[in-house]
Structures are given as C-alpha cells and as structure tokens.
Amino acid sequence: MQIGLSEIKNIITRDGLPYKRKMKILALVLVIVILFSLCLETIQHGIISPAKVVENYKLWIEYNLSKMFGWPLYHIKEDILANGTVYYDVISRLKITAITFVCGIMLAMSGSIFQSVFRNPMAAPTMLGVSTGVNIGILILVLQFGGFALNMPFEKYIYCYIGAAAMLMLVLAVGKMSSGKNKMSVYDLLIVGAIVAQVVGAIQTFFIYNMENDELLLYQEVSRAISVNTDNITFAFLGISILVCIVPMYFIRFSFNAVCFDNDDSKSLGVNSGLMKILTLILGTFMITAGMVHCGTVGMITLVAPFISRAIFGAEYRKVFWGNLMIGGILLVVCRDVASMIYFNAEGLPLGTVVNFVTVPIFVVIMISQRRVFE
Amino acid sequence: MKLELRNLSCGYKDSNLILKNISFSVETGEICCLLGANGVGKTTLFKTILKLLKPKEGKVVVDSEDVAKWSAPKIAKKMAYVSQYHVPPFPYVVKDVVLLGRINSVRYFGKPKKEDYEIVEQAMEDMGIRHLREKIYTDISGGERQLVMIARALAQEPEMLVLDEPTASLDYGNMIKVMKKIKTLQKTGYGVVMTTHSPDQAFMCDSKVALLQKNEPVKFGNVYEIITEENLKQAYGIDVQVVEFADKTGRIVRMCAPML
C-alpha cells in the first residue's frame, strides 16, 4: 500500500510530540537548577535572595558597560561598595556556574562519543590515558614553577592540554605500530591505551613519591581544581572547546549513529565509520581534558549522563544530543551546589568527591532498573 | 542493473585463497541463491562483492563498471547489504533503525527530511512491520528483526539486495514469511543475492543458484539444473532425493528429501 504525504506529515508530528514534552520538562529542570545555583553563596552555606542577585547583576553589567564606553564609574562603585561582599559572591557564583555547566556539557558529550564508538555503555573517555596526560601536565607545572603554579591558569591549561594531547598521540602511535599493516581497530587502541597509561602512570608515581610535603600538597590542590579559576582565559579556553567539539558533533549528529553498528554494516550503508570513529575519539578526548582541567576528577559524569539520557530519549543520537548535554550540565551544576553547601576546610569540597558521591547511587539505580539485556 | 563476477578469487590472505575463479551474473528482477557447505566462503564472497574485502584476482562488475573504483556511497546506492549479525549495543527503536538506511542520501552533515521519512515508512509498510515501529529493536523476535533489516536495506533505495543468510535461526513460520517477502521484492523489480543453507529455498524462489564448493569450480545455473541429487552429494557429502509433486493448485513443486 502506498503511503500518502499527508499521512507522513501526521506521523512526523505525532512522533515529535513525546520528544518535545520531555525536552520541555528537562528545560524546566535545567532552569530551576541554574537559578538555584546562581542564588547560592560561593563557599558559605547560605542563599542570597533572587532580587538581590538580579540587583547585583545589573550593577555588574552597568559597571562593565561603563568601563567599556568610558562612562562615569563613580556612583556604580559606590553601589557596589554598599552591597559589600555579596556583589563579589554573586558575580563569582555566576562565573563558576557557567564554567561548571559548560564542563558538564562537554563531559556528557565526551562520554556519549566513547560509548557509541566502543559500542559499550560502560566505556569511559579516560580509557585512552587522558587523565594520566593531564596529571603529567600538572606534575611538570608544579615541579617547574612550585608555589606559583596555583596562580598560573594559562600555563596550567597549556600544560594540561599538551599533556593530554601528547598522551593521546603516544597511544595512537603505539596503536598504529602494534596493528602493523592492518587497519587500526578501536579495540586495539583500548588495550594499548591501558598499557601506555600504566607505564606513564608508573613514571608519574615515581616523581610524586620523591616530592617534598609542601610540593605534594600543592600538586594535589592544583590537580583537584579545588578553587575554580574564573579568569577570562578560562572562558576563552572553554569557548574554543565548544567551537571545536560541540559544533562539529551537532552537525554529524545523525550520521554518527552509524558508529553504533559494526564497521562492515556502516560501510555498506555508505559511511566511512572508521575515520569518523578516530576523529570523534579525538574530539571526545579533548572534551574530557577540558572537563578535568577546569573541574578536577569528575569522570563519573561521562558514564552517568549518557546513561540517563538514553533511558529518557532512546538510542538515536539525534534525539539524545540536546538532552544528553542538558543532563550533563544539570548533574555537574547540582554536584557543584552540593560541594559549595558543605563547609569543608574553608574551601568547600572538591567537586570530584561530590560527583562520585552523587553519581554512584544514580548509576547503581540505573544499572538495576535497566536489567533488561540489550544484547 | 547487472552484477557480474568475472574470474573472481577472494580470501583474507594472498597465500590462502578461499574461493577461486568465480564467474556468474545476476540482474535486477532475479534471485540468486548461493549454496555451499559451512566455511566454504559465502560471507567472504559477499564481502568481496560489496568491496568490504579487496578481490585477490578478477573483478566485480556492475553495469560494465569495475566496483573496485567505486566509493562506498556509490556502492550503497546500488547494493544494500543485510549481514548475519546486527545487534546494536543500544536500545534503538525500529523506526530509527530503518531510518539509518537513509544515511547514504543524507550524508555526514545532514538530517533526514520529509522525503526520507516517506521512504522509510514505505519500506516498513512493504515489509509489513509498521506495527513494530515504536518497539525496541533488541526486544523483537529474530524473524521480525530480519524484516527490519531488510526494510533498512530497502530504505537505501538500492537496485540489488545482498542478504547473508536471511533465514538463519528463524523458525519455520518466520522463514516462510521472510521468503515470501523476498519473492515479492523480486516481483517489484529488485535483484536479490542471498546465501542459504536450504536447497528448498532455492526451489521456493525458482531462482538461479550458485553452488560453491572447495577446490571445485562454482556451479551456476537455473535451480533445476544445479540442485540435483548428484550435485548435493558432491557439495555436502550426503544422500538426498529430489522429489517432485503437484500441490493442491496443480503447481509442480520440488523439494529435497534427505535419505536418513
């Protein structure tokens, strides 16, 4: 029987309805979480009233506009002084929330890429040894600059990104060597990644073992990213990461589905999935690096966010795309809120610790509720 | 469209050719069944036809053009492949699996348009699986999955379907259902190349047959010429009787009866 065009239109609209409803709910949750996060005080356990927050944003915008266009600053500075520390708390909270949200987005994206490429819902982006690379970067930074390392965001980012990139290249090169004349398979890459990370990790442990006490503390502080750096340079790095990673992924969000099927299958569909796999793995690695550099060891998000989004939106990558990003962002912002609310060592808890506490139960619940076997 | 194999030899290593010197041709509107014992190289031959493996000698020719020079998208426009194992690791919904057949026309940076959805719905309608469209692919039965994969292949809008054991591990009823659909496809003008383990299926489709044997030249021709007691004995090493009878409608039916 021939299907008419009007019926197709109906089908498309009808199919789109549940998706739209779910997205609306998710957007609502996102807005609530973000608003709550913006009203939190940075370290103390208190909430600033929304009216006060808005008032301070106004001041902040006015101040920046005045600075930009050379308007008189006098009365604005007076208002800021009148608001006292609240002003600085509110503004730094805005920046921290933005950084956290963007990192959450990138972690979720990175996780979904790795899980699709390795066709395994337990695949983690750190499997290619990125975390070792980032830690090596920080180690070199601390050994080279000592106490100054804490206040060198630009150098820290450069060292971490270079460390991660070097590690990835090392894994790719060894993978290429081990596969010889044959095409490099992503599974070989996995084994090579584990081995190379072990070897490099051993060297790193040797250096850490030989560190003095204060150096060790410094290394821990820098690597856990306990204090978030809200300099402009951070935003520049995050902006570049979004442009380089999320935008291309947005455009290939339909054809990316091909990587979930085996190579022969996708090739017979007319897609060169081999190249797509390698390129997206590189993007995914870049994103997990960004997440780790700006928010510390928060790798669990990469497992949990795609899991939740698949449970809500199904498996088709186009449908999961936005939901996955939002869920990643929401999760990390919630973790950040929890971290800020717990008073610990005058600094708040490291985000990574909270992420593990918050996400592991979610992960267990999902594992149990999703007992149905996909194989 | 005409698919020709010209003196094709294939295998994974140069030193170890699995199949040697194979020549036959299939046109659209025809079904060709590939028969042969386990491990004789049926899947290897399929992979070579689809350029998933390089031919060691000879060539695969489509409409007098060498397929070796074609890109993957160009091949995908002419021939669609349904492999034996195709279980995605994630819970894809049936309609999304079929939609993936459109990847080739949508290309890397596009997304499906209204026309693509139309083709997909029509493919599901043709395979009689529209009632499954919201179901999760991994939850449906083996026979239904096979129909979904054929629908995905149809969504590619190919001229020739290459099916690797489309009825493997299906129960009797599902096997007949799938075979019926394959016959309908042939009548609508598709060419079908399929592997099978059952000579009866070749009789059902009234198809051409290529009987592959180790270290023997391929036997190619009409099903009645190739599926003979002697040839089956040679290929599988068993005694089979080919029986012929008239069904209720008076149509002559042939079947193989193994001598136990």
Q: Which residue in chain B is spatially nearest to A263 when comparing CA positions?
A: B52
A vs B: CB pairs below 8 A: 126
A15 falls within a domain: no
Verify whether the Cβ–Cβ distance A2 to B108 is below 8 Å: no
Query: Which candidate from B80, B106, B122 shows the least CB-CB separation from A268?
Result: B80
Domains of chain B, earliest start first:
2-258 (3.40.50.300)
A19 touches chain B (CB under 8 A): no
Verify whether the Cβ–Cβ distance A121 to B89 is below 8 Å: yes
- Output the six-digit token pair for B3: 């698919």
CB < 8 Å to B111, chain A = 253-254, 318
CA distance B188 to A198: 59
CB < 8 Å to B92, chain A = 260, 314-316
How many distinct structural domains can be found in chain A?
Answer: 1
Neighbours of A347 (CB within 10 A): 12
CB < 8 Å to B81, chain A = 264-265, 268
The CATH code of the domain that includes A130 is: 1.10.3470.10
Beta strands across the sheet bearing B219-222: B79-82, B160-163, B191-195, B31-36, B208-212, B219-222
Q: Tokens 């020719």, residue?
A: B61
Residues A342-355 have pLDDT tens digits of 776 666 677 888 88
Residues B22-79 have pLDDT tens digits of 899 999 999 999 998 888 888 889 889 999 888 888 889 999 899 989 998 999 999 9
B138-157 residues touching A, CB cutoff 8 A: 138-139, 156
* Residue numbers of chain A with a pLDDT score lower than 50: 373-375
Verify whether the Cβ–Cβ distance A269 to B76 is below 8 Å: yes
Q: How far is A4 from chain B (nearest CA, A)?
A: 8
| B209 strand-pairing partners | B33, B221
A248 touches chain B (CB under 8 A): no
Give the pLDDT confidence score for residue A246 in this predicted structure. Answer: 92
Q: Tokens 């993978």, residue?
A: A175
A20 falls within a domain: no
A172 falls within a domain: yes
A331-370 residues touching B, CB cutoff 8 A: none
Q: How far is B223 from chain A (nearest CA, A)?
A: 28
Give A193's contacts (C-beta < 8 A, 6+ positions apart): A127, A128, A129, A171, A175
Give the pLDDT confidence score for residue A347 in this predicted structure. Answer: 65
Element (H, E) at B62: strand B57-62
Verify whether the Cβ–Cβ distance A318 to B121 is below 8 Å: no
Pick the residue of B75, B93, B103 with the most A CBs within 10 A to test the interface with A by mutation: B103
- Output the six-digit token pair for A202: 């051993």
B41-100 residues touching A, CB cutoff 8 A: 47, 50, 52, 72-73, 75-77, 79-81, 83, 85-93, 95-96, 99-100
A16 falls within a domain: no
A7 falls within a domain: no
Give the pLDDT confidence score for residue A338 in this predicted structure. Answer: 86
Pick the residue of B77, B100, B114 with the most A CBs within 10 A to test the interface with A by mutation: B100
A217 falls within a domain: yes
Give the pLDDT confidence score for residue A262 in this predicted structure. Answer: 80
Q: Closest by alpha carbon to A100, among A33, A163, A152, A23?
A: A33
| B163 strand-pairing partners | B82, B194
Q: How far is A357 from chain B (nearest CA, A)?
A: 27
End-to-end Cα distance, chain B: 43
Residues A214-224 have pLDDT tens digits of 888 888 777 76
Q: How far is A315 from chain B (nearest CA, A)?
A: 5
Percent of chain B with pLDDT over 70: 100
- Domain containing A128 equals 26-369
CB < 8 Å to B110, chain A = 254-255
Give the pLDDT confidence score for residue A261 in this predicted structure. Answer: 83
Neighbours of B99 (CB within 10 A): 26
Percent of chain B with pLDDT over 90: 42
CB < 8 Å to B50, chain A = 264, 267-268
| A338 strand-pairing partners | none
Verify whether the Cβ–Cβ distance B96 to A9 is below 8 Å: no
| B244 strand-pairing partners | B254
| B2 strand-pairing partners | B27
Q: Which residue in chain B is spatially nearest to A255 when comparing CA positions?
A: B108
User: Any long-range contacts for A50-53 (C-beta under 8 Å, 24+ apart)?
Assistant: A52/A83, A52/A86, A52/A90, A53/A90
CA distance A138 to A273: 35
Alpha helices in B24-141 (DSSP H): 42-49, 72-78, 94-99, 103-106, 114-127
Give the pLDDT confidence score for residue A373 in this predicted structure. Answer: 46
Verify whether the Cβ–Cβ distance A264 to B93 is below 8 Å: no
Give the pLDDT confidence score for residue B163 in this predicted structure. Answer: 92
pLDDT in single tens digits along all 260 residues of chain B: 899 999 888 888 777 788 888 899 999 999 999 998 888 888 889 889 999 888 888 889 999 899 989 998 999 999 999 987 777 778 899 999 999 999 988 888 888 988 999 999 999 998 889 999 999 988 888 888 888 999 999 999 999 999 998 888 788 988 898 899 899 999 999 999 999 988 999 998 888 999 998 888 889 999 999 999 999 998 888 899 999 899 899 888 899 998 88
- Percent helix, strand and coil across chain B, each to the nearest 5: 40, 25, 35
In this prediction the pTM is 0.88
User: Angle at CA A322, nearest 5°, toward A317 and A323?
Assistant: 90
A8 falls within a domain: no
A2 falls within a domain: no
Q: How far is A123 from chain B (nearest CA, A)?
A: 12
